[in-house]
Structure 1
């Protein structure tokens, strides 16, 4: 027996043999693909060896299309080794359908999603529903529960296919056909098999084979009674598709699931302090069921309070997930890594950079951190270079891709600018996947923070733009990250500049404690004269002690005058005047206000420095109020509001009065605080949520200080109510607040 042909035959790979057989029949790849009912990409991948283990049905289709003789057919199959033996099986062999199994754990908090899925699939034959959401959110679990409900209406016609390991549409088609106990090699054949059965196909984990979407649309056209329920981390993007996003669980459902999984893990009954610990442990899970299950498993071993003590220092939980879960779902890092494998290089590069940003972020912030080699010098923030421009263009597409893959979500912020966020478990997992490059990200954030601070600060001081005030408040955590980097890298004057630009809007929104913490990071000996003047002004504005405020503001004013910074000098004079009032130095206060007014009229273009123009009459109104002349105070505050309107400014005098009322309350002047709140309400209708919330919050605090618990509760309700009470009712409540405060203070 001559064995020489055997080794020679085996030395030829499947890819090379397939190409030789095709060329021997003078067929192009396109012609072979059409004859075999495969895609051209599939044939090309096979001939290049990219698909080394084709599915058995694919081999049979190729052999049929090439019209191979038995010897050539056996040679092609032999080149695959054991996989070829599988392909030799007769397609007519009896097959067993695969049906979905019920969920192995109790499902919590998904009744609404299941009801929506059942409604959509039950009323519209020929429908494709795709459940999308981040890894670990429970898409498969929800799909199984919905399929169990629908199975009652489709007995014997519900099929389940796990497409996790498929990467080609042809392989996905084979897996679906196998689940339906069908030997068909084509969509048409599968449709014929399903005809008249009102089948439900449950297709799990389609994210790696989204190119299968058009085939599913074709299947639904050919088999109109069939419906498909798919799960995928990304939508399939076909017109028949109805996407239903599976969101993380709410706080109540999250705690319920945590408790159930804790008990299932054999934890002892929870003690008195465990409920609070469970609530706090659920927060970093952001409602992701997988993260909750992993957290509960760790808590069952360590105890909830002990785990809570260490949770901030853990990059990964000490206990992995259940062994009956796929390996990719036993840790959050593995789950996120699975998603990252499907991302483009640009999205893979952006994701770990986003994990450095605390809280939510805007598209502007994403642009800033997209370029990896941003110059460290803060002056570069004046004019973005070409690298930033290229990075910004790429960042938009990369962010959109991350959103589509459910790795980044739209934030719940209802502000003027759309914001995004990473779920906390995803943030922590990404940090463990790729910690490199954080320094470049922080550098980019610092450049963005300084640029944004200048822009927003100029709009606030120059035009009284209240939208810019909101932007600073919303972005304060990202701005703080930039400020920290400037301090840590020794860029003290740049840090002082950023501090000065943002301290005023932070003061206007009640974040004086945070501003003071920023100022404590700097030391005046490290600053230039200009930097020191800015630092002193921010420190004065965040100081609640009148004597310290006066001394610091006066120092800032004198230093600003010496370096000829008129705007800063006027700002410092206004705050020094306010401090003098608190110290009952009425003459000194008037002198300082007059000084600010002279600077404003002689040296400033008020149309570009609205803040000073408006706050001078506000200061005169405060002085009149402290002298007991409420009518004069009201006239000055009305003048301030009229000035803002004449200059076309959005400056909110009521917002400033509400903050002044908070300061008066902290000093025990509850009657003055009530008068300021009443004046604020008269100057501006309180139908907009933000000013109403701010004013109502201060009014609630004043009511509580007066011992009027019922009124305090009413104002707390106003702060969050929609629609708001009518203007007449609000006005009467504020007048009543003034009367009660006067009675308590003895002025009545």
Structure 2
């Protein structure tokens, strides 16, 4: 309750008075409307301290009209904003650009304790700190009320959504481009910093049935959602947008549908998130729908991508024969119509399925071709994933030292790119290598570290991998005993991820 009330003494005092009516949990659930709830303060205090609204209103009334206008418009930002965002979003049609006086107006709001300014820098690559402006949620609730009553809310929220759509599209990391470590980090960091604003823009788009705006945002964010563990959140937005496309609004008006290619892409990406979450039935339905649309448009690259994703689902279900057929067709189309990145991706996908059928020679050949293509174009994402696949092949071939080196190279690159799925695969692969080398303690804690990462990101263990996982755990448990296994597994499970990665790469332990 104290955290939700921003630690404000008056707000906490007023909340304490409500405990007579509401148990703490019930009070907490009502704090989204804190201004209506927290009233009737002590009688022997100034009138402006009788209610939370009176206190904020008193400060607001001291502002001049320009300061009041900016204060109201700042309510559209969730989790704070940059100076650039203020200048772009908070200018009205009448006022024009705000660059000239915005700093003085912001400074006044900070001086009046209605706004907080802090450093925006969060990475070592940034040499100059940029200010970030944040409202306490209690104050933001009041500002939003004022914005709505002014009649300016719709315009301000539209500008906010447009600004963050453009930001997301520019900032999204693109795996198929030549990798630049500083740029990659900078983009992920910027999206993470603005995640609350991006969610707010998505919420506005869904609420106002602006499907095209919402789709642009979602398609810019899906990669971030997977790698940073926002799967449930991302998939929920995707499904809501799909449900809204072409539907009637409450007035009976049918909104304009998404362009066919954007709709197919949205379906395709929703299928990817569904598969990662383990909802294979939904993933198949979506990918088959996207493939049908791509075929109808004659979009061979899209068809190849849909076939590849259907192959991934078949792989996760343990249907390796079907996975091989789908990946072979995907690769055939990719070689003719797609980019080098897509060809390398399809080669790796086919190799993984062929590997599961026991053809290590063909799997190795496919992976070596994929790796060569990816290294030539400096596609670090594909390089890392392909190295991990090669590690798996060499582990099964009994080349344990080579398998370890491949996994460690992949893991190092995955750490630098913060590719959580690759990190997970390497931790699990290194555990199998350690088991094969009879290094049971190492194998046990690696299993624990991998399990922690799965739990943190919300990635269930696919059914087809369950048997291999259970076999690995049973073998380790049998070798060192129940008590030692549980203790060592727990140690790995509790390790911070960065420390687990460092220890995993220290193969001399």
Same fold (TM over 0.5): yes
Q: Secondary structure at the match of 1:285?
A: coil
| Equivalence for 2:143 | 430
Give the deviation of 1:393 after TM superposition.
Answer: 6.2
| Contact 1:329 1:335 (8 Å CA) reproduced | yes
Give the deviation of 1:517 after TM superposition.
Answer: 1.0
Of 355, 373, 377 in structure 2, the residue corresponding to residue 647 of structure 1 is 377
How far, CA to CA, are the matches of 1:656 and 1:315 in structure 2? 55
Q: Secondary structure at the match of 1:444?
A: helix
Tell me the TM-score normalised to structure 2 length. 0.66
Give the deviation of 1:367 after TM superposition.
Answer: 4.0
Aligned residues: 418
- Structure 1's 451 and 578: CA in aligned 2 closer, same or farther, altered over 3 A? same
1:623 counterpart = 2:353: yes
How far, CA to CA, are the matches of 1:594 and 1:533 in structure 2? 22
Give the deviation of 1:533 after TM superposition.
Answer: 0.6
| Equivalence for 1:449 | 164
Q: What per-residue deviation string (whole Å, max 9, x for no partner) do you get for residues 109-130 of structure 1?
A: xxxxxxxxxxxxxxxxxxxxxx
| Contact 2:387 2:410 (8 Å CA) reproduced | no
How far, CA to CA, are the matches of 1:539 and 1:692 in structure 2? 19
| Contact 1:657 1:680 (8 Å CA) reproduced | yes
How far, CA to CA, are the matches of 2:169 and 2:409 in structure 1? 33
How far, CA to CA, are the matches of 1:396 and 1:568 in structure 2? 47
Which one scores higher on RCO, CA 8 angstroms, separation ≥ 6? 2
Q: Secondary structure at the match of 1:443?
A: helix
Of 228, 233, 245 in structure 2, the residue corresponding to residue 509 of structure 1 is 228
1:590 counterpart = 2:305: no
- Structure 1's 371 and 628: CA in aligned 2 closer, same or farther, altered over 3 A? farther
Q: Secondary structure at the match of 1:283?
A: coil
How far, CA to CA, are the matches of 1:562 and 1:447 in structure 2? 31
Q: What per-residue deviation string (whole Å, max 9, x for no partner) do you get for residues 162-182 of structure 1?
A: xxxxxxxxxxxxxxxxxxxxx
1:475 counterpart = 2:194: yes
- Structure 1's 439 and 541: CA in aligned 2 closer, same or farther, altered over 3 A? same
- Structure 1's 490 and 614: CA in aligned 2 closer, same or farther, altered over 3 A? same
| Equivalence for 1:289 | 9
| Equivalence for 2:68 | 348
Map residues 365-380 of structure 1 onto 2, 5 A cutoff. Answer: 365-373=85-93
- Structure 1's 616 and 339: CA in aligned 2 closer, same or farther, altered over 3 A? farther
How far, CA to CA, are the matches of 1:711 and 1:412 in structure 2? 40
How far, CA to CA, are the matches of 1:483 and 1:299 in structure 2? 35
| Contact 1:654 1:681 (8 Å CA) reproduced | no
- Structure 1's 340 and 314: CA in aligned 2 closer, same or farther, altered over 3 A? closer
Q: Secondary structure at the match of 1:410?
A: strand
Q: What per-residue deviation string (whole Å, max 9, x for no partner) do you get for residues 590-635 of structure 1?
A: 34434444554444454xxx5x355334423532553357898788
- Structure 1's 445 and 549: CA in aligned 2 closer, same or farther, altered over 3 A? same
Q: Judge which range, 638-647 or 402-411, deviates more.
A: 638-647
- Structure 1's 346 and 712: CA in aligned 2 closer, same or farther, altered over 3 A? farther
| Contact 2:206 2:214 (8 Å CA) reproduced | yes
Q: Could you tell me which runs of 5 or more consecutive residues in structure 2 were left unpaired when the two chains were aligned.
A: 248-256, 389-402, 428-448, 457-469, 474-481
| Contact 2:35 2:141 (8 Å CA) reproduced | yes
| Contact 1:460 1:466 (8 Å CA) reproduced | no
How far, CA to CA, are the matches of 1:514 and 1:677 in structure 2? 35
Q: Secondary structure at the match of 2:36?
A: coil
| Equivalence for 2:261 | 530
1:682 counterpart = 2:397: no
How far, CA to CA, are the matches of 1:423 and 1:359 in structure 2? 9
Q: What per-residue deviation string (whole Å, max 9, x for no partner) do you get for residues 382-434 of structure 1?
A: xxxx95xx246655654455445441343788357865432222222333444
| Contact 1:466 1:652 (8 Å CA) reproduced | no
Give the deviation of 1:556 after TM superposition.
Answer: 1.1
| Equivalence for 1:209 | none
| Contact 1:286 1:424 (8 Å CA) reproduced | yes
- Structure 1's 318 and 525: CA in aligned 2 closer, same or farther, altered over 3 A? closer
1:719 counterpart = 2:496: yes
| Structure with the greater alpha carbon radius of gyration | 1
How far, CA to CA, are the matches of 1:634 and 1:327 in structure 2? 78
| Contact 1:337 1:433 (8 Å CA) reproduced | no
Give the deviation of 1:362 after TM superposition.
Answer: 4.0
| Contact 1:299 1:307 (8 Å CA) reproduced | yes
Map residues 186-335 of structure 1 onto 2, 5 A cutoff. Answer: 281-300=1-20, 302-335=22-55
Q: Could you tell me which runs of 5 or more consecutive residues in structure 1 were left unpaired when the two chains were aligned.
A: 1-280, 375-385, 659-675, 737-748
Give the deviation of 1:539 after TM superposition.
Answer: 1.9
- Structure 1's 439 and 703: CA in aligned 2 closer, same or farther, altered over 3 A? closer
| Contact 1:700 1:713 (8 Å CA) reproduced | no
| Contact 1:530 1:560 (8 Å CA) reproduced | yes
How far, CA to CA, are the matches of 1:678 and 1:286 in structure 2? 49
